[in-house]
Structure 1
């Protein structure tokens, strides 16, 4: 009877998905330290039994939610960068204006990721997870960025350094953008800073 057996993994996957979706909302609203299993279950529409058949603890759920959201972010970046790569660029400013909007400034995710970062600073294993995520983001970003910069006559001597610098620009300006989302000056300064960083970490291609 393969059909009933096939339904069980699908049902389990749906349960996990709903619990992870609920956890993202609850953690963003309440904070991880103040959230409870009951709150996550209530938001997802499940019992504690359903929770513990999928996750041993809120810590495990938090980590699974983080890993899933990071993977979704990277997939979205790849799609956005591929679309940006099909457009015309004439200088570094054009390159930045194509790529920067592809990196989301997400209020809900920022609240959760900021708390995860704080949590990771107290846990060496989670620090490795954070480092791996930043490395994956840089590795996703740099091939597209280098291609666009080549088209405007610039090369990147140290792609890793530029990737890390751009992550720092994003992290450092995200709070300002979230605090004043309707202030065009804040968003323009974010763009201007990124242009300066890309210019500083790249150089004219040899003729």
Structure 2
């Protein structure tokens, strides 16, 4: 096999460290995990870890960011070529039902929130991450509403869909599903947006 370039080798190292970190975090939580354990799981030294990441919080946030980007791409794919309001809502509900009970990093995100409350820099980065995700998803949903009549901002719409889809309690209940809740919420907002405007 051809020898890897320096950049390819660094990319491979980062990928292995992130995969190892995901396993360690899932097994031990953010508080219980350590850089030593992550490096050992990946088969590298602490030096290799610090050559790619600043801290265990940094690698964890990068894992969350990667998952967030994957979610955005999946929603964009689900809505590609869809323009009718009813079809947009249905496509989002189908996506939500598909992802409600899939294994993800939800417990670790809750763990991160607890840590972030004690770290202003972590809180800022965490907030920016979800603000970006919610806004992108919300902008996709705004297309379903009459122009200028959406009863919520892009940020609010995105937060609504993502939080209903990945809500903690929904994971432990057979129904209603995340998609059902999203459908009820979006149909209600759509009805409000389509209602005749009152004249003075």
Shorter-chain TM-score bucket reads 0.7 to 0.9
1:22 to partner: Cα distance: 1.2
TM-score w.r.t. structure 1 length? 0.73
**Aligned mate of 2:176, from 164, 174, 186:** 186
Structure with the higher helix share, 1 or 2: 1
User: What's 2:152 paired with?
Assistant: 158
Structure 2 Cα separation of the partners of residues 20 and 45 of structure 1: 12
1:112 is the counterpart of 2:119:
no
| 1:168–1:65 Cα change, 3 Å | closer
| 1:66–1:194 Cα change, 3 Å | closer
Residue 186 of structure 1 aligns to a residue whose secondary structure is: coil
1:156 to partner: Cα distance: 1.1
What is the Cα-based RMSD across aligned positions, in Å? 3.1
| 1:147–1:141 Cα change, 3 Å | same
| 1:31–1:125 Cα change, 3 Å | same
Gaps of 5+ in 2: none
| 1:60–1:192 Cα change, 3 Å | closer
1:117 to partner: Cα distance: 2.1
User: What's 2:11 paired with?
Assistant: 13
Structure 1 Cα separation of the partners of residues 139 and 104 of structure 2: 28
**Aligned mate of 2:139, from 125, 135, 143:** 143
1:206 to partner: Cα distance: 6.1
Structure 2 Cα separation of the partners of residues 42 and 166 of structure 1: 38
User: What's 2:125 paired with?
Assistant: 129
Structure 2 Cα separation of the partners of residues 49 and 138 of structure 1: 36
1:171 to partner: Cα distance: 4.1
Gaps of 5+ in 1: none
**Aligned mate of 2:90, from 77, 94, 97:** 97
User: What's 1:31 paired with?
Assistant: 29
1:29 to partner: Cα distance: 1.6
1:146 to partner: Cα distance: 2.5
Structure 1 Cα separation of the partners of residues 51 and 158 of structure 2: 40
